[in-house]
Amino acid sequence: DVKVTQSSRYLVKRTGEKVFLECVQDMDHENMFWYRQDPGLGLRLIYFSYDVKMKEKGDIPEGYSVSREKKERFSLILESASTNQTSMYLCASSGRGRSYTFGSGTRLTVV
């Protein structure tokens, strides 16, 4: 069964910490995405990547960075975590046809 795997379901971090959220897909998809989901706001795109070592800013990139050193792995980095980054983070990948496959999400709490 094809899948997108996010390394943690729940994370609690302290303000100012550097946080890494990892995402791995096994579908050989070119495209990978990071969204955050907040009640009443839906999903908002943070960053995406169309190829290894390539990245593009989404709608809300401030306070985040990404890394894609291998095709199957796309990491989201919070350089200095803040309480307003408490959220559900969803990783997705897609090939041709534009259908996204999502991971189960990481619920991050910054205290």
Partner 1 sequence: AQSVTQLGSHVSVSEGALVLLRCNYSSSVPPYLFWYVQYPNQGLQLLLKYTTGATLVKGINGFEAEFKKSETSFHLTKPSAHMSDAAEYFCAVSEDSGYSTLTFGKGTMLLVSP
Report CA 79 to chain centroid distance, whole Å.
14
Q: How far is the CB of 95 from partner 1 (least distance, A)?
A: 13
Q: What angle do CA 55, 60, 65 make, to 5 degrees?
A: 40
Using CB under 8 A, which of the segments 13-21, 61-69, 76-84, 98-106 binds partner 1? 98-106
Residue among 100, 93, 97 at smallest CA distance from 30: 93
Binding flag, residue 20, partner 1 (CB under 8 A): no
Q: Least distance (Å) from partner 1 to the CB of residue 63?
A: 19
Q: Decide: is 98 part of the binding site for partner 1 (CB under 8 A).
A: yes
Q: Strands, DSSP E only, in 59-100?
A: 64-70, 73-78, 87-94
Rounded to the nearest whole angstrom, what is the least distance from the CB of residue 104 to partner 1 in the complex?
5
Quick one: CA torsion of 105, 45, 67, 92, rounded to 10 degrees? 40
96 counts as binding partner 1 under rule CB under 8 A: no
Amino acid at residue number 16? G
Q: Taking the complex as a whole, how short is the minimal distance between the CB of residue 16 and partner 1, in angstroms?
A: 28
Residue ranges in contact with partner 1 by CB under 8 A: 4, 9, 33, 35, 40-45, 48, 50, 56, 58, 90, 92, 97-105
